Amino acid sequence: MYVGLAFERRHPAGPHGETGMQKHRVTFLPNQKSIEIQRGTSLLEASQRADVFVNNLCGGEGVCGECRVHILTGERQYSDRASAFFSQEEIENGFVLACQTKVLSDLEVEIPLESRLEEEQIMTGEGRESAEIQGGTSPERIPEAPFYPFKPLIRKVYLELPPPTLEDNVTDIARISRELRRKLGWHSFDMSLACLQHLSDTVRDSDWKVTATLAKDKGRFRIQKIEPLDTSTRNYGLAVDVGTTTVVAQLVDLRAGKVLGVEGSHNLQAQYGEDVISRMVYACGKGGLHPLHDAVVKNINTLIESLSSTCHVPREFINAIVAAGNTTMSHFLLGLTPCNIRLEPYVPTADVYPQILASDIGIQINPRGVLETLPSVASYVGGDIVAGIVASGIADHPQIQGLIDIGTNGEIAIGNNEWLVCCSASAGPSFEGGGTRCGMRATRGAIERVEITDGKVKVRTIANAKPRGLCGSGIIDCIYELVRNRIIGSDGKFNRAIKDPRLTLEDGIPQYVIVEGDEAEGGKPIVFTEPDISNLIKSKGSIFSAIKALLGYTGLSFDQLETFYVAGGFGNYLNIPKAIAIGLLPDIPVQKIKFIGNSSLTGARLALTSEEAFEKCVNVSRSMTNIELSNYQPYMDEYIAALFLPHTDRKLFPSVTY
């Protein structure tokens, strides 16, 4: 293998003590954050400790090439893997993979633009933000969330109690329970010891005027706390979508269910791996569970701090959180070992999670505030999909409807108010910009739209910045335009007979130049290669065959689908006709395909504000049948047939005209 040359003498970090107790200072540019760290630590770990984000898809295995950094001063080392990701010139200039580079001296390290975490279009809302409506082929607007009666998970009730007399000297807690029964009609109430310990003083100091906070848990009501005087107007809750890429929280006023604000942030777990698999590998290996648990808790606390400040709601007035996430995220959030989720036969620790005090896992709301995590269905069908089913209303109507959430995995559910089936297909990182030579996440400078006409390429980038690479929607556009212009065939191979200056070869690999080097950020051309196309075909084939196999399992055909909801961040930016044309989505009338936005967040909010919605989530998670695709032969057959553009069976895509 080709091995790059370092400027300075190679300094091996052998087993002979050089990596001992000596420490070095590493300073990261451009933000000048610096950390003193033990000699021999990897540069990636140093950046994590310094809270400096460096992209990292593979979890530090040296295979994704995302953690490119530039050593400005200090000692460097050879990296066997460098040649796969850097030109000779870059290597000579000091570019290294952070995960493969050990700290052997004081260092000054620049994080180049492409390795930095930048502001992304985080879907904080339930609507379609920055959406461009596609003329006559535009999908319908997001439907309203279904109606559920307003009965929040946690309620505050103000009580004016009659003071005790010799004739009526029941205990303090019995007096409170009696008044609660009168007001609410419930039968009995559990209570915590903490709530009893100062009760006697509380009721008397406040002249028998108190506010009880009640949580519902498994059909029983628990008195969480008794506060002096009337605090019933101070009752807030948080709905949280714990996504692999982003964590989004809504602050809700639990007096009436009004959403006061919403904030999103990148999942800080990204520093331990871009997707759930690499994070599990990290957590179940040397890294352990704690960093991943801590990261998502930090995410949520930061969102709470921000929402609390923006909406002028003190944190201690927040009494409840409902979190929805995929099964792995839910495990990380609660500190449950997720290691067997990724190993056959794919067994999570739990699919139903206990109601806990948010403070038990370090989340900073009211110390007696509760956290509910929406139940999962299986290892790869989590509470986010359950929330989506409830948010879309699929389980409420007799019509057959479907839901898909496309990310590294594509989770698909189909059913109605009588039955529900679901599955999860591994899509690979294509739709998130991974596995593609010039792929990137949907951040500033990412090409999100491509049009090719008569050999001319028109692109549009996020924030209209200088192009840096291709994000998911850009990649789909690319493939569609290439096949429409017959530059590639149905098999995804370039038509080498064509004379097009943009069609070039690099190291024998055919590629199409989308943006010339002089027009691109960084000066290098943005290309789309034959292997990129092959990866994308596998990804779309996996998703489409999963939809088809799942429908086949139920004995239905595509035309029996009343609605097909597309949820999640990627879905939101998808051009539906093009997604159909490349064979990612089934060829059904475009008006039947509806964007549903961040339905995980919507479902979490419904569960926060309505007991019925919460119970619906529990019932959906219990009753939905999960089909394990890796174990389902029809899926494998469908998959092979789907590795064409749009499909080997053109009859499945009658509307596709190219």
Instruction: Indicate whether 165 belongs to the interface with a copy of itself (CB under 8 A).
Output: yes
Residue 27, beta-bridge partner list = 34, 108
Instruction: Indicate whether 624 belongs to the interface with a copy of itself (CB under 8 A).
Output: no
Q: Which of these segments, 17-25, 145-153, 170-178, 517-525, binds a copy of itself (CB under 8 A)?
A: 170-178
Q: What does each C-alpha distance from 466 to 120, 446, 461, 475, 517 come to in angstroms? A: 16, 9, 7, 17, 11
Instruction: Indicate whether 196 belongs to the interface with a copy of itself (CB under 8 A).
Output: yes
Q: By C-beta, is 385 or 574 nearer to a copy of itself? A: 385
Q: By C-beta, is 356 or 636 nearer to a copy of itself? A: 356
Q: How far is the CB of 8 from a copy of itself (least distance, A)?
A: 45
Instruction: Indicate whether 345 belongs to the interface with a copy of itself (CB under 8 A).
Output: yes
Q: By C-beta, is 36 or 360 nearer to a copy of itself? A: 360
Residue 584 and residue 547 in contact, taking contact as beta carbons nearer than 8 Å: no
Q: Which of these segments, 11-19, 20-28, 171-179, 538-546, binds a copy of itself (CB under 8 A)?
A: 171-179
Instruction: Indicate whether 349 belongs to the interface with a copy of itself (CB under 8 A).
Output: yes
Q: How far is the CB of 235 from a copy of itself (least distance, A)?
A: 23
- Which two three-digit tokens encode residue 54? 């460096």
Instruction: Indicate whether 1 belongs to the interface with a copy of itself (CB under 8 A).
Output: no
What's the CA gap between 652 and 234, in Å, rounded? 55
Instruction: Indicate whether 340 belongs to the interface with a copy of itself (CB under 8 A).
Output: yes
Instruction: Indicate whether 628 belongs to the interface with a copy of itself (CB under 8 A).
Output: yes
Is residue 565 helix, strand or coil?
strand
32, 169, 633, 657: residue in contact with a copy of itself (rule CB under 8 A): 169
Instruction: Indicate whether 636 belongs to the interface with a copy of itself (CB under 8 A).
Output: no
φ/ψ of residue 506, rounded to 5:
-130, 125
Q: By C-beta, is 37 or 212 nearer to a copy of itself? A: 212
Instruction: Indicate whether 187 belongs to the interface with a copy of itself (CB under 8 A).
Output: no
Instruction: Indicate whether 171 belongs to the interface with a copy of itself (CB under 8 A).
Output: yes
120, 172, 384, 481: residue in contact with a copy of itself (rule CB under 8 A): 172
Of 322, 271, 324, nearest to 295 (Cα)?
271
What's the CA gap between 521 and 511, in Å, rounded? 19
Q: By C-beta, is 281 or 515 nearer to a copy of itself? A: 281
Is residue 277 helix, strand or coil?
helix
Q: Which long-range contacts (CB under 8 A, 24 or more apart) does 193-202 make?
A: 194/225, 194/368, 195/223, 195/224, 195/225, 195/226, 195/368, 199/172, 199/173, 199/226, 200/172, 202/226, 202/227, 202/228
Q: How far is the CB of 360 from a copy of itself (least distance, A)?
A: 7
Put the strands of the sheet holding 318-325 in their side by side order: 258-266, 246-253, 236-242, 318-325, 370-373, 356-357
Contact map string, positions 371 to 410, toward a copy of itself, x by CB under 8 A = -------xx-------------------------------
Residue 389 and residue 404 in contact, taking contact as beta carbons nearer than 8 Å: no
Q: How far is the CB of 358 from a copy of itself (least distance, A)?
A: 11
Q: Is the peptide bond before 354 cis (omega within 30 degrees of 0)?
A: no
Q: By C-beta, is 360 or 519 nearer to a copy of itself? A: 360
Q: How far is the CB of 634 from a copy of itself (least distance, A)?
A: 15
- Which two three-digit tokens encode residue 168? 């009526």
What's the CA gap between 599 and 145, in Å, rounded? 9
- Which two three-digit tokens encode residue 447? 């090409």
Binding residues for a copy of itself (CB under 8 A): 164-174, 190-193, 196-201, 204, 218, 220, 334-340, 344-354, 356, 360-361, 378-379, 628, 630-631
